[in-house]
Structure 1
Amino acid sequence: MKFTDGYWQLRPGVDVLHPVEVDDVRVDDAAGTMTVWATTKRVRGRGDTLNAPLVTLTYSSPAPGIVKVRVEHWAGTRPRHPEFAVRGTETHVTTHVDDESAVLTSGDLSVRVRRTGPWRVDFESRGRVLTSSLPKGAGIVSSPEGPFVHEQLALGVGEKVYGMGERFGPFVKNGQTVDIWNADGGTSSEQAYKNVPFYMTSGGYGVFVAHPELVSFEVASEMVERTQFSVAGQQLEYYVIDGPTPKDVLERYTALTGRPPALPAWSYGLWLTTSFTTSYDEQTVTQFIDGMAEREIPLSVFHFDCFWMREYQWCDFEWDPRTFPEPEAMLARYKDKGLRICVWINSYIGQRSALFAEAAEKGYLLRTTDGEVWQWDLWQAGMGLVDFTNPAAAEWYASKLDALLDMGVDCFKTDFGERIPTEGVAWFDGSDPQRMRNYYTHLYNRTVFELLERRRGRGQAALFARSATAGGQQYPVHWGGDNDSSFVSMAETLRGGLSLAMSGFGYWSHDIGGFEGEPDPAVFKRWLAFGLLSSHSRLHGSGSVRVPWAFDDEAVDVTRRFTRLKLSLLPYLGAAAREVVERGTPMMRPMVLELPEDRGGWDVDTQYLLGSSLLVAPVFSADGEVHVYVPEGTWTDLLSGETLTGPRWVEQRHGFDSLPVLVRPGTVLPVGASDDAPEYDWADGVTLRLFELPDGFDETVTVPAADAGVDATDVDFRVRRTGDEVVVTTGSGRAWALESAGRTERFDAGTGEGRITLA
């Protein structure tokens, strides 16, 4: 939200109070806080203290390297909830106050408030200033729309801003106005399904604005030298998060708001759906499943979209008997084929559903302020909204899904959760309706994910969720929502995924081929390669099916090729997933996240790193023309063996069965012995492929167990290069191999040391 009219003036009806000078500083060592009272005008004598508002700024730290800031006008307003849950650690902060400044330090990060001269607050780390709140930075606003509090943090020359959730516009947010407000707006607008009030910059820090309600960002827009964020009310809370690298920022941020969990191996395989409004029954579904097997395309999950339930009755969680008369027997047959089963759900209950009357009677649906059930006709006729702030309602909702798990369902697509009313409604626990707009999806996805964890075990639960906010990364997987079937939409989909990755979400998927419309074969085939080199891969559409033979024979070949490629890469992808769990580093990584030292990649939003070592550049054209940015060093194309040396842009042309997949120099790439299913012993028969290892290379490569919680254990390979020889030692107990420049040396099970001479 903009409050000024250019640099000098305010907008009509707007008045803003800014901190001008420090009146007092008080330190509470027991609480670990430093509180600063700032005047909003120059105080030259006692008389100037009358009729003069103060701004109270309180600094604290929930964990090393993170500083919490609370900017407050009036303290007497009632607490508003819900609030984002943050995880603190016992951290020792130090403070130092003298005549010149007041300083609070946590880890390497300090906040320094100047006590003399013009107002200035610096956030410092490792001897440099990361960002600052300068004169007119913090502001207490009165306006025709009500009170607001804003903060402005300075941007350096050339500094780039990223994140703020899954946003489909430009990846670099400089120059944009971004409103954190969940909406069902597709992928072609400024609206977003997953709004996260967190950003990071190329300057080595991140900022988390801890408000579930509307947070409005002006990113180098209203003030081109600053990033402004504002919220309605009398208080503003935000956290400055130290780096120095983007990965370090994400590690601290996800420790604060919650880390993504491990996911089951089967979730990394190919998902196929009925599509949305297509006509289907058990015979149709069986033809899809058998058609994939006949064409030797490995399929891991089959998903039933909305019309597995009867029209006008979403959600009643009952199979439509006209099309699926024997669902338990049907699911058993599909399970016998080795498939996992996903079904579509949402948190809206249509009036014709028998569950509507049950939920209304028990008080499980959101009510209006006059005590009636809140209803409308959008999406489902007369639908109501499950009130997850009521623990009994959440338990009731989960019990309906529990019955489906008993039937053989493995996971749920938790659709919607964005169309949440903010006026004239009363939540069970008294939650602020404005705050529930974004937060509702958090409660919805948490309810379903925790049920799956209780039933399936930690590391065996997976969703396919559309909406989210801060902390939602704990309940994966998330997919990109309703896109169009075009190359332009394919590119905007990738931008959304890259922005979400910079917002703490470790896993991400999208509708291969696009959702709306029917992709032409070229779009579908190009999207296949992109989708199957994403963390999770799903074939899904709206009014037309996405089985590859619906397009042409080549689409079948491309689907088979890239599905099998992904399955063979699971030893490598599993290690990347381990980083999601342990550090919060996403599997799909923007160039700036993985290679922040390379300024040439800061703006690049048409390619990404899958894990730390595979650079993927999707092809966004029918003729196969693609421009790929090659970072410094000699990179090797995984599919062709061609080497490219950077840093530079390279123009290439690829067939539908290819795209640039460049292996980073200094990589030991573990490739699995199986490519027909995701659930295999990833270490048994693994081949370690060596790419441009420097002399003196000495690293341990871990091939993780396929699933957390199973008997299989991780296997370590220590890889050392001396001169032209590479020596590997391991306690694997399984067969394994070394490969370099097309030459392969194989070693029997139990061989503890192997070597290969480099060409």
Structure 2
Amino acid sequence: MKVTEGTRWRAGLPGVTWKAGIEVSQIVKETPDELQFLVSPQHVAHRAHTVNSGVITVTVSSPLDDVIKVRIDHHSGRKDPGPNFELFPDGAPDAPKTSVSRPTKQSIKFTSGKLSVNVNTAPNEYGMEFVDATNADEPKVLTSVGPQDTSFADVPYRFTLGQESEQSRLTTENDTLPRQNGNFMLEGRSEALVRYMLNDFSLVVGETIYGLGERFGTFVKNGQVVGMFNDDHACHSHKTYKNIPFYLSSRGFGVFVNHPEEVEYEIGRGYNSKIGVSVRGERLEYFIIGGGSAKAALQNYVRMVGRPALPPAWTFGLYLTTSFTTSYDEATVSHFLQKMQDNDCPVRVFHLDCFWMEAYDWCSFRWDPVAFPNPRKYLADIKAKFGVKICAWVNPYISQRTHLFQEGMDKGYFVKRTDGSVWQWDWWQPGMAVVDFSNPEAYKWYAGLIRELLDTGVDTVKTDFGERSPHKDVTFHDGSDPRKMHNYYSYLYNKCVWDVIEEKYGKHEAALWARSATAGGQRFPIHWGGDPYSTWEGMAETLRGGLSLGLSGFSFWSHDIGGFRGSPDPVLFCRWVAFGLFSSHSRLHGCDSYRVPWDFGDEAVRITSKMTHEKMRLMPYIFGASLQAHETGLPLMRAMVLEFPDDLTAPTLDKQFMLGDSLLVAPVFGNTAQFYIPEGRWTNYWTGETIDGPRWVQEKDYPLDEIPLYVRPGSVLLLGPEKIGVPDYDYTSVGLEVRAFEVEEEVTVRVPAATGGKWAGSVTVAPGGKVAATGVKIAQRVTNGH
């Protein structure tokens, strides 16, 4: 929340009461596991200066080695109705190694593992420096907080209207300051005021910032103002479905702001050398997350909010959907699947979008009796005939027209207005109500509806929407703050559905296809990127969104091949197919037209077949990288800056990525391929030709049936048989082809089991081409790529 004119050294903007800490006035607590002190907005020269002046209480602690928690309180007596992020859901970590020391008479040092915070206690010189000592000989200041960088402000409500996210503007009824005659009162002023807590972090020369969720705009976040407010707004603006209050710095650390409500970031805006963070209320809590590198910091963050589950191997196959507004019924579905089979385009999952239910009837969980008169038998038949899994669309909104509405209203299962009536509107569905997942009975009710859906033969669920949780003039069953619940709603919604699928099919067979998310949502994969336009720009912004989400702790991600809105031309469709089949997960889906390849010509059919089979062949590598992602929290699709932090070109690369450790993928935007090769001798996956980096490559008239795909030097790829047809085959027994690329020292590659989330064997390649396998059948031993 911008409160000053460009710098903290000037007064607040007109109408803003702003008080910033400049001096540590008292040490309250100093123990090995916690440090607490008061920061005053003025120099305390004698006791009179402690009267009629607020202070900021700063508490420093650590939940985990190399992670430092900072809590900043103004008035600490405010009640917190929740919800709050669930931390360490995979189990409490070992107690961190912490200590407190006094390096000088005017400083205090709190240490966790290799990360320390040095607090300056000199008069008028309050500040904190966060220092990483992974390299003990060269400790590195990661970021700092200086005088006036920690503050609180009271902002006129009228002023916030031009500053906050348009849809997140709150009425004064949701604010927290004392009121008189309907307006908040402070210091004799009668206009409505909003309290904010603020903290600024240093932004040094050359530092670049990433993450903050799925963001479709500029990949590097420097210069942007970013608000955390989930919104159903397609992929072409600053608004997004997945807001994650975590950013990753090119300096090798992360910052997690532990607030599910709207947090606002000013990244080199207003004050060019600062990252400003603000949140409404009386408290601001954040974690500085180290570990020695950006990769390590990302893994530590995921340890805090939860590791991603491993999606079953079958989810890595091609999804085909009925699309959204197009007409379909049993005959259409069967025709699609038969023709995909006839054209050698293997489909592993068939998705039924909204109209498996009748129009105006969402979400009733009742099959359209005309289009699907006997869904249980029909699903069993197509699963047996075509070997597919079934995905069905749902959302957490209940139309007034459905048979469920009256039951939900009578039993109090919906979000309510402050007068006790059901909150409703007509955007999306007529008279739509929103399921209140904070109500345990409503949670069970919705879970029961999902359970009945699975019993018809559905294997996985597309959990659409979840971004429209109302935040004005409403109440939740458990008393949750509607502002906090707005983003957090997506977590409860997806967890509810996930738990039912896991209950029915088991831990290693659960999967979603989710759109909305907040911190912790990565535990319930897969997520997809919403509704892009069927344009080159839509394809590019889709990729930027996925790379940003990957740097926010989400390991598995997908998108609508060909774009959602509109209809792609054949060249765009073919390029997007190649991008989609070399993404984590792959789905053909659209809005106004079908996304079946024959609608885009014979060449599109051939390319879809080729790319689908190649992904199936690479599954021993892809699923192994996915198991690694599950274990570590690293994304399967990795931004180049994460994998090559010391490469000066990597920070801005947003049109290519690493798929796991070894494959560089560069989608083609148009007819000319442009991509960057890092240092080393890389091998073209398709041709076996090598290229030495670092260098840029530009190739005009790039073949439509290829995508730039290069193998990192020192890699060993394990490939399944050609035309295997499914992603979930037994990688240990089919007979793998071993391809080694510029191997100069012994390399061991683990082989995953296709089920069970475990490693089943390994293959070791020594320089010169000697291959040894344990628990794995090898069909061919091939070195140097081909």
| Band of TM-score, shorter chain | over 0.9
Contact 1:271 1:303 in 2 (8 A): yes
Shift of 1:26: 3.5
Contact 1:57 1:72 in 2 (8 A): yes
Residue 692 (str. 1) matches residue 742 (str. 2) = yes
Match for 2:781: what amino acid?
L
In terms of mean alpha carbon deviation, does 712-721 or 441-450 score higher? 712-721
Equivalent residues in 2 for 1:267-666 (5 A)?
267-336=315-384, 337-621=386-670, 624-653=671-700, 654-666=702-714
Give the distance between the partners of 2:201 and 2:688, measured in 1 at CA. Answer: 46
Give the distance between the partners of 1:28 and 1:475, measured in 2 at CA. Answer: 40
Contact 1:312 1:380 in 2 (8 A): yes
Equivalent residues in 2 for 1:54-453 (5 A)?
54-87=55-88, 88-89=92-93, 90-97=95-102, 99-117=105-123, 118-126=125-133, 127-145=139-157, 146-336=194-384, 337-453=386-502
Name 1:753's counterpart in structure 2.
none
Contact 1:250 1:583 in 2 (8 A): no
Match for 1:626: what amino acid?
A
Contact 1:260 1:473 in 2 (8 A): yes
Contact 2:762 2:776 in 1 (8 A): no
* SS of residue matched to 1:248: helix
Give the distance between the partners of 1:152 and 1:219, measured in 2 at CA. Answer: 10
In terms of mean alpha carbon deviation, does 112-121 or 175-184 score higher? 112-121
Name 2:175's counterpart in structure 1.
none
Contact 1:281 1:323 in 2 (8 A): yes
In terms of mean alpha carbon deviation, does 203-212 or 697-706 score higher? 697-706
Give CA-to-partner distance per residue, 1:729-749, whole Å, 9 cap, x none.
222252332212466xxxxxx
* SS of residue matched to 2:392: strand
Contact 1:38 1:56 in 2 (8 A): yes
Give the distance between the partners of 1:6 and 1:296, measured in 2 at CA. Answer: 60
Give CA-to-partner distance per residue, 1:650-698, whole Å, 9 cap, x none.
101312101210100111111112531112111331111011112xx12
Give the distance between the partners of 1:276 and 1:282, measured in 2 at CA. Answer: 15
Give the distance between the partners of 2:51 and 2:728, measured in 1 at CA. Answer: 72
Contact 2:251 2:294 in 1 (8 A): no
Give the direction of change, closer, same or farther, for the CA distance of 1:742–1:570 in structure 2 (3 Å limit): closer
Shift of 1:699: 2.5
Contact 2:200 2:276 in 1 (8 A): yes
Give the distance between the partners of 2:262 and 2:785, measured in 1 at CA. Answer: 55
Shift of 1:727: 2.0
Shift of 1:497: 0.3
Give the distance between the partners of 1:19 and 1:10, measured in 2 at CA. Answer: 14
Shift of 1:80: 3.2
Gaps of 5+ in 1: 744-759
Contact 2:740 2:785 in 1 (8 A): no
Give CA-to-partner distance per residue, 1:27-84, whole Å, 9 cap, x none.
3648x21101111101112222221221110001111111110011111111230001
Name 2:172's counterpart in structure 1.
none
Shift of 1:112: 1.1
* SS of residue matched to 1:322: coil
* SS of residue matched to 1:440: helix
Match for 2:127: what amino acid?
R
Give the distance between the partners of 1:9 and 1:37, measured in 2 at CA. Answer: 22
Give CA-to-partner distance per residue, 1:170-190, whole Å, 9 cap, x none.
000000000000001110011
* SS of residue matched to 2:527: coil
Contact 1:614 1:664 in 2 (8 A): yes
Contact 1:156 1:203 in 2 (8 A): no
* SS of residue matched to 2:501: helix
Aligned length: 733
Match for 2:100: what amino acid?
T
Name 1:22's counterpart in structure 2.
24
* SS of residue matched to 1:62: strand
Match for 2:739: what amino acid?
R
Contact 2:743 2:766 in 1 (8 A): no
Match for 1:647: what amino acid?
P
Equivalent residues in 2 for 1:735-746 (5 A)?
735-741=778-784
Give the distance between the partners of 1:486 and 1:250, measured in 2 at CA. Answer: 32
Shift of 1:408: 0.6
Give CA-to-partner distance per residue, 1:246-292, whole Å, 9 cap, x none.
21011100000011011111000000000000011100010000001
4+ runs deviating over 6 angstroms:
none
Shift of 1:576: 0.9
Match for 2:143: what amino acid?
T
Give CA-to-partner distance per residue, 1:152-198, whole Å, 9 cap, x none.
11011100000000000000000000000000111001100000000
Contact 1:25 1:37 in 2 (8 A): yes
Gaps of 5+ in 2: 134-138, 158-193
* SS of residue matched to 1:655: coil
Give the distance between the partners of 1:500 and 1:699, measured in 2 at CA. Answer: 31
* SS of residue matched to 1:165: coil
Give the distance between the partners of 2:195 and 2:755, measured in 1 at CA. Answer: 51
* SS of residue matched to 2:390: strand
